[in-house]
Amino acid sequence: MLGIQPIHIIVVVIVAMLIFGPDKLPQMGRDLGRMISQFRSGADEMTRGFRDEVAKPVEQQIAEPKACVNCNAANASDAVFCSKCGAKFS
């Protein structure tokens, strides 16, 4: 696994104990576990959101384009400003 052998892990733990002390290592382990858990839940949420967007019917994905009153350029239906001339939609 990535060239890491058990002796490498033991050396890292010993160095961490020397730097941080044995009292702080359990708290650091818990914090690391929480960070990994939050990262995984965030990644799962992003994956679910992506799958939901991909699974939408094409009719819902493509909305009626918005035409600019100044330059008549087609813009996304949720656009606030014109992509061509920069005019603000009301």
Residue in the block written with tokens 């839940």: 41
pLDDT per residue of the chain (90 residues) written in tens, 0 to 9: 568 888 998 998 889 889 988 888 889 889 989 999 999 999 999 999 888 888 876 655 556 778 888 898 888 878 888 888 989 887
Nearest in space to 63 (alpha carbons), one of 75, 52, 55: 75
Alpha helices in 1-90 (DSSP H): 6-20, 25-55, 58-61
What CA–CA distance (Å, rounded) separates 74 from 68? 7
